[in-house]
């Protein structure tokens, strides 16, 4: 079993023929991901990367049975692309696009609230189940199959944690990059819950950052429901209040938004918090031994 994506996922790429879509779809195909088609309005009927191109997502669902979508669409159109995928019945929607207007994401969240789909992102590196499917922009060679799940707001810290875990001989079950925008589809808690319920995942790494309540909510859920060891790290420990740091959602608005406050809550909820990202892998290895 795996979380969100696997070898049976039938993946389409929205924005398939653009430069970003082309590059990353090519990398996904090379990795072995089951990319069945692409969608670019106005280019339906063509072939691209040896895959059919459709004008609409609903056509791709009808013709090739697509159930997972990767979105590489410019910010102004990405909200519509997410809603189009949800309307067509796509079950897992992964949006890589950065810079989608917040008001567009408010509309998207409301629209998909009653749809049978899971949105990951936007502004995220994607999801990878090693050896089965790479749906995103992460360097696939870093991830070896194993038993540790990763949930992270940061792309680069996802790769760093995965590298450490692989070198510790544990490997990765599924890594989920949830994205760093103020409004995202899958929360830290929801991603942790997916991994906690996955029989192939034996330990979880939770990487957060300053701003918002996502990590605190996840920690409280782990305290009540956790059955597996969780290692936690919060980025932005030296960030000044009131200044956005890297991600649009990474801004300290109140005392509970600071790295220190989040780390305290996580510790109190039984999560094994490390002060430096360099210690993520060794702490997990210690807990799994």
Q: Which residues pair with 235 in a beta bridge?
A: 209
CB 25 within 8 A of CB 19: no
What is the residue extent of each domain of the chain? 11-120, 138-288
Question: pLDDT tens digit string along 64-108?
Answer: 999 999 999 999 999 999 999 999 999 999 999 999 999 999 999
Paired sense of beta strands 118-120 and 172-177, if any: unpaired
Question: Which positions of the chain have pLDDT values less than 50?
Answer: none
138-288: which CATH topology? Answer: Rossmann fold (3.40.50)
DSSP 232: E
Fold entry, domain 11-120: Rossmann fold (3.40.50)
* Topology agreement, domain 11-120 and domain 138-288: yes
Integer CA distances (angstroms), 238 to 70, 263, 273, in order: 34, 13, 16
Known catalytic residues are 247
48-60 CB burial, b ≥16 within 10 A, e <16: bbebbbbeebbbb
How high is the pLDDT of residue 237?
Answer: 83
pLDDT in the model for residue 35: 98
């Amino acid at each position: 079993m795996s979380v969100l994506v696997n070898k049976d996922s039938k993946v389409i790429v929205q924005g398939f023929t653009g430069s970003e879509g082309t590059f990353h779809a090519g990398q996904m195909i090379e990795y072995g991901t089951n990319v069945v088609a692409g969608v670019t309005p106005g280019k339906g009927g063509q072939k691209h990367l040896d895959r059919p191109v459709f004008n609409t997502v609903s056509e791709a669902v009808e013709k090739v049975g697509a159930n997972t979508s990767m979105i590489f669409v410019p910010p102004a159109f990405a909200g519509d692309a997410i809603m189009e995928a949800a309307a067509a019945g796509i079950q897992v929607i992964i949006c890589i696009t950065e810079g989608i207007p917040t008001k567009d994401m408010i509309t998207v969240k409301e629209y998909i609230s009653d749809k049978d789909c899971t949105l990951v992102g936007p502004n995220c590196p994607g999801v990878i189940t090693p050896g089965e499917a790479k749906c995103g922009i992460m360097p696939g060679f870093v991830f070896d199959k194993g038993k540790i799940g990763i949930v992270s707001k940061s792309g680069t810290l996802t790769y760093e944690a995965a590298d450490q875990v692989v070198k510790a001989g544990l490997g990765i079950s599924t890594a989920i990059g949830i994205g760093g925008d103020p409004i995202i589809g899958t929360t830290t808690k929801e991603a942790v819950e997916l991994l906690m319920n996955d029989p192939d995942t034996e330990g979880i790494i939770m990487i957060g950052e300053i701003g918002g309540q996502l990590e605190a909510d996840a920690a409280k859920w782990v305290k009540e429901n956790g059955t597996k060891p969780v290692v936690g790290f919060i980025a932005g420990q030296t960030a000044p209040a009131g200044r956005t740091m890297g991600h649009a959602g990474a801004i300290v608005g109140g005392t509970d938004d600071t790295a220190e406050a989040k780390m305290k809550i996580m510790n109190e909820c039984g999560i094994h918090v490390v002060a430096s990202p360099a210690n993520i892998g060794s702490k997990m290895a210690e807990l799994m031994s």
